[in-house]
Amino acid sequence: MVDLSRKYDVLVIGGGNAALCAAISARRLGASVLVLEGAPKFYRGGNSRHTRNMRCAHDAATDILTGPYPEAEFWDDLLRITGGQTDEELARHMIAESKDILGWIVEQGVRWQPSLGGTLSLGRTNSFFLGGGRAMLNALYLTAEQLGIDILYDAEVLDLEIEHGMFLSAVLKQGDGRAKVSAAAMVAAAGGFEANIEWLKQYWGEAADNFLIRGTPYNRGSILKILLEKGVQEIGDPTQCHAVAIDARAPKFDGGIITRHDSVVFGIVVNKHAMRFYDEGEDIWPKRYAIWGRLVAAQPDQIAYIIFDSSVLTSFMPTLFPPIKADSIAELASKFELDPAALEKTVAEFNAAVRPGTFDHTILDDCRTEGVMPPKTHWARRIEAPPYYAYPVRPGITFTYLGTRVNKQARILMKDGKPSANMFAAGEIMAGNVLGKGYAAGVGMTIGSVFGRIAGREAAQNARN
């Protein structure tokens, strides 16, 4: 039983990767730690349950990575995908610290597997969790329990007592009543607000009703909202988020990784008017997959269709839902209530624009279009081998980028620019410091692990002082 009457050194609010890294880091420095996870035990771990890999800088190939990924290259990738909308000092600090995480996370019981191939193209840059995100979380929770960290599930935090930038206590729902817990330092690691449709609608309007939430339904942003209302400085554009194209047949919440489509580069994408609207071959897929959610969100009724033919059916990782099949483009259109003539025209114009080249999905190849808008700058091949296939897709929101501003010590900054006396943040709740926009595969886990470890360390040292 957890004794809420005692004063802990460190209170961690959240139960995902960032929270566990913070809790373990603090505990290893001798701090007493309580973790409050708002979800039931079965659903513990937030969006970390659905992850597969982490992107860390490293200087040489390893047993699970095929080559080096220098800090400079990581920074260049981050700069490109964010369009420069990142806190450079914080981002470079994260990248430098990520080099230690590969080994540190293993010391906490997590195991790696060889990277996957195919369209992911991550064998050199990203380390994959053996057993996926849930196995990674189970390992961290086991370590936390063995270290004597107290963990409370179904622990929804209703309010935070904060005075002049100092955390004093948290009020949580417990059964039918309320309880208060105090601590010398607090780490906020409770995710973004992507599962709060009403909050999303403040920025996206009615379109948000058509969004699907890839991850946990428990990330409603309540901790973020409380912190911002109590004087914490915000960071990030509330309309920016990690959003990918996921199957339109996926559940409203918690569909996870198996609903994501990686087939875009092998075909074309059209909206409800059977019109293409973006370059499907702009860049290597792990650097572009997370723009497609926002692209689809901007289309009429927030719906789109990935169209391809039988020649590429086995070229990408399959998803939970099978593609819709038809013997002709017109028949395929009718299955989605698209205008058959419009889709035939779009496919014909695309096919006519394809120029010959040597196809290679692992590089920026020379298979491109000419004379059609938008262009397809790489991996363009004619769609002409029946049967034809399509996936219906909607925006799948992973996490939002509006968050709390922090410094290199993961210490929360207040609206007056001063660091909080004893509040820290890690993970998606502060990801907007690094991710102004855009995303590259595995960066979310990097942010959570690196700043979780830092936040726990700093919170423990703060509590001692």
Q: pLDDT value at position 348?
A: 98
Q: How far is CA 76 from the centre of its chain?
A: 20
The answer to whether residue 276 scores a pLDDT higher than 90 is: yes
Q: pLDDT value at position 317?
A: 85
Mean pLDDT of 245-270: 95
Q: pLDDT value at position 465?
A: 85
Angle, alpha carbons 144-147-149 (nearest 5°): 60
Q: pLDDT value at position 118?
A: 61
The CB density around residue 399, as the number of other CB atoms within 10 Å, is 28
Percent of the chain with pLDDT over 90: 92
Mean pLDDT of 346-355: 98
Mean pLDDT of 338-347: 98
The answer to whether residue 115 scores a pLDDT higher than 80 is: no
Q: pLDDT value at position 232?
A: 98
Question: Hey, what are 322's tokens?
Answer: 């099978």
Using CA atoms, how far apart are residues 289 and 249, in angstroms rounded to an integer? 19
Percent of the chain with pLDDT over 70: 98
Can you tell me whether residue 377 is helix, strand or coil? coil
Using CA atoms, how far apart are residues 222 and 158, in angstroms rounded to an integer? 8
Q: pLDDT value at position 119?
A: 54
Residue-wise pLDDT tens digits, 277-313: 999 999 988 778 889 999 999 999 999 999 999 999 9
Q: What does the mean pLDDT of the chain come to? A: 95
Residue-wise pLDDT tens digits, 159-168: 999 999 999 9
The answer to whether residue 208 scores a pLDDT higher than 80 is: yes
The CB density around residue 316, as the number of other CB atoms within 10 Å, is 20
Mean pLDDT of 425-431: 98
> Burial code of 317-341, b = ≥16 C-beta within 10 A, e = fewer?
eebebebeebeebbebbeebebbee
Mean pLDDT is highest, among 317-321, 347-351, 438-442, for 347-351
Write the CB contacts of 247 (distance below 8 Å, at least 6 apart in sequence): 255, 259, 261, 319, 320, 321, 391, 392, 393, 394
Residue found by looking up tokens 């946990």 in the block: 216
Q: pLDDT value at position 285?
A: 82
Using CA atoms, how far apart are residues 228 and 230, in angstroms rounded to an integer? 5
Question: Hey, what are 255's tokens?
Answer: 């569909």
The answer to whether residue 169 scores a pLDDT higher than 90 is: yes
Residue-wise pLDDT tens digits, 26-81: 999 999 999 999 999 999 999 999 999 999 999 999 989 999 999 999 999 999 99
- DSSP states of 98-145 as a string? HHHHHHHHHHTT--EEPPP-GGG--TTTEEEETTHHHHHHHHHHHHHH
Beta strands 304-309 and 268-271, pairing class: antiparallel
Q: pLDDT value at position 257?
A: 87
Residue-wise pLDDT tens digits, 357-408: 999 988 999 999 999 999 999 999 999 999 999 999 999 999 999 999 999 9
Mean pLDDT of 350-355: 98
Residue-wise pLDDT tens digits, 238-250: 999 999 999 999 9
Q: Which of 1-5, 263-267, 332-336 has the lowest mean pLDDT?
A: 1-5
